[in-house]
């Protein structure tokens, strides 16, 4: 078991452009110790998937990045980093009695909408992951969001109470550290199994859109490369990469 001590390696900032960018710059200049956490009370250019932006009200939520050096992990299996991090977030929310699920590949949802997002950026050289920056945005106390943000929710909305961000941060880092240890101990089957158990809409018949193809199917899980596995109406298992498939929900939360 690796001793990460994430909370003890916390670097705080009032304002940063992006905690992920700051962590990557730190790697390139100083090569900080593994488990370094960079947290900002506000990001001017918070990053999401595929050039999207992560917008968060100052001093209301948690936005931070964790630096790892998972050179033991095959780059083709880098999605295990996302799995471990997702499980850490879900477990922490369940500690607060918030029923959270993982919306493949990188969001955390409750029945009311999106409560957290993940952005992982890897530095790969010579077929080896030299570093990994794992960015987390968790809505804690924000109640009102910009209109262009689809289906947001927060711990405050879910629990109808204000939460101490420092307490949430400590619990989240402990939870994330637990799953990082499982990853570094190569408990990959356990991680994958638990991730699949907590997938949003797993084993539920849903309507999917894959380009011009519209079909009903059932989410079965993922493969080692992080592709989503869906059984279509003929029971054929189809594998999809990020953005290759979309699914419709009557509340339009997806």
Helix (H), strand (E) at residue 17: none
Tokens of 142: 């924000």
* Closest C-alpha among 101, 204, 187, 112 to residue 150: 112
Q: What is the pLDDT of residue 85?
A: 98
Q: Which residues of 10-26 are buried (b: 16+ CB within 10 A; e: fewer)?
A: bbeeeebebbbbbbbeb
Domains and CATH numbers, the chain: 7-197 (3.30.930.10), 205-248 (2.30.30.100)
* Closest C-alpha among 193, 198, 216 to residue 110: 198
How far is Cα 82 from Cα 95, in angstroms, rounded to an integer?
20
pTM: 0.92
How far is Cα 64 from Cα 80, in angstroms, rounded to an integer?
19
Q: What is the pLDDT of residue 2?
A: 86
How far is Cα 117 from Cα 185, in angstroms, rounded to an integer?
25
How far is Cα 108 from Cα 93, in angstroms, rounded to an integer?
10
Q: What is the pLDDT of residue 56?
A: 73
Q: What is the pLDDT of residue 58?
A: 81
Backbone dihedral angles phi then psi of residue 150, each to the nearest 5 degrees: -80, 125
Q: What is the pLDDT of residue 212?
A: 86
pLDDT digits 0-9 by tens, 111-157:
999 999 999 999 999 999 999 999 999 999 999 998 888 889 999 99
Q: What is the pLDDT of residue 46?
A: 65
Point out the residues of the chain with pLDDT beneath 50: 50, 251-254
Q: What is the pLDDT of residue 254?
A: 47
Pairing status of strand 101-103 against strand 107-110: antiparallel
Helix axes of 188-197 and 79-95: crossing angle, nearest 10 degrees: 60
How far is Cα 213 from Cα 46, in angstroms, rounded to an integer?
33
Q: What is the pLDDT of residue 253?
A: 40
Q: Which residues of 97-135 are buried (b: 16+ CB within 10 A; e: fewer)?
A: ebebbbbbbbbbbbeebbbbbbbbebeeeeeebebbbbb
Q: What is the pLDDT of residue 52?
A: 54
Beta strands per DSSP E along the chain: 10-16, 37-43, 62-68, 101-103, 107-110, 113-125, 128-138, 205-210, 213-222, 228-232, 237-240, 246-248
Asked if residue 60 has a cis previous peptide bond (ω within 30° of 0), the answer is: no
Q: What is the pLDDT of residue 249?
A: 59
Q: Residue 169, CB half-sphere, CA atoms under 13 Å: how many?
A: 24
**Strand partners of residue 38:** 11, 65
How many other CB atoms are found less than 10 A from the CB of residue 225? Answer: 12
- Range list of H helices, the chain: 19-29, 79-95, 155-159, 165-184, 188-197
């Amino acid at each position: 078991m690796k001793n990460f001590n994430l909370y003890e390696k916390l670097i705080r900032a009032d304002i940063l452009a992006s905690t992920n960018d700051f962590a990557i710059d730190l790697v390139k200049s100083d090569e900080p110790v593994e488990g370094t956490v960079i947290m900002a009370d506000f990001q001017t250019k918070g990053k999401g998937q595929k050039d999207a932006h992560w917008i968060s009200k100052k001093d209301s939520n948690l936005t931070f990045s964790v630096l790892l050096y998972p050179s033991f992990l095959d780059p083709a299996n880098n999605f295990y980093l996302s799995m471990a991090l997702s499980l850490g977030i879900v477990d922490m929310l369940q500690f607060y009695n918030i029923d959270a699920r993982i919306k493949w590949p990188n969001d955390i949802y409750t029945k009311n909408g999106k409560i957290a997002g993940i952005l992982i950026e890897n530095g790969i050289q010579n077929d080896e992951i030299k570093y990994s920056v794992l960015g987390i945005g968790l809505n804690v106390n924000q109640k009102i969001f910009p209109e262009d943000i689809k289906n947001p929710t927060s711990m405050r909305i879910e629990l109808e109470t204000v939460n101490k961000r420092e307490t949430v941060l400590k619990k989240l880092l402990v939870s994330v550290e637990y799953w990082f240890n499982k990853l570094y101990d190569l408990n990959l089957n356990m991680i994958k199994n638990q991730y699949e158990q907590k997938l949003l809409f797993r084993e539920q018949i849903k309507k999917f859109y894959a380009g011009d193809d519209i079909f009903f199917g059932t989410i079965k899980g993922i493969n080692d490369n992080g592709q989503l596995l869906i059984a279509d109406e003929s029971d054929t298992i189809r594998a999809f990469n990020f953005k290759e498939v979309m699914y419709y929900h009557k509340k339009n939360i997806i």
